[in-house]
Amino acid sequence: MGVTSHATTVAMTQVLGTTEAFRLTDMVSGRIILPEGANLNLTFYECDTVDGTYALCDDVGTNGVVAVTTAAVTPKSYEIPTKLTGSRFIKIIGDVADVDITVITKTQ
């Protein structure tokens, strides 16, 4: 079985219930591309089913929150925390704006 890469657009909001989930099963690494001026903090949640109850990924960043900086005119890319490898479904909550993000995962 070879290594494959997949990119998808995900709607990230400021509310867990309205943020779109994405699948990480079999991920070995991944990136998140944020549009310009998007968010300062990203909070990660995980679940074993796409429509289940999501739990805060408390061991990612500081209490589930990863601080990021985005410039006003330039999109930026960030690594999906490797501690999430093995998670099935993830939701990311932003703290500034509702935006579409690009999630790129490498699986094998």
What does the alpha-carbon distance between residue 16 and residue 6 come to, in Å, rounded to a whole number?
A: 24
**Max CA pair span of the chain:** 41
At residue 50, the pLDDT reads 94
* Domain 4-107, CATH number (from 2.60.40, 2.60.120, 1.10.10, 1.10.3120): 2.60.120
Q: Report which of 100, 83, 107, 108 is spatially closest to residue 32, judged by C-alpha positions.
A: 100
Listed range (4-8, 61-65, 90-94) with the worst mean pLDDT: 61-65
Q: Tell me the per-residue pLDDT of 20-78, one tens digit each, with 9 for 90 and over.
A: 999 888 788 889 988 877 667 889 999 999 999 999 999 888 887 887 766 556 788 88
pTM confidence score: 0.86
Instruction: Using DSSP, state whether 63 is helix, strand or coil.
Output: coil
What does the alpha-carbon distance between residue 108 and residue 29 come to, in Å, rounded to a whole number?
A: 10
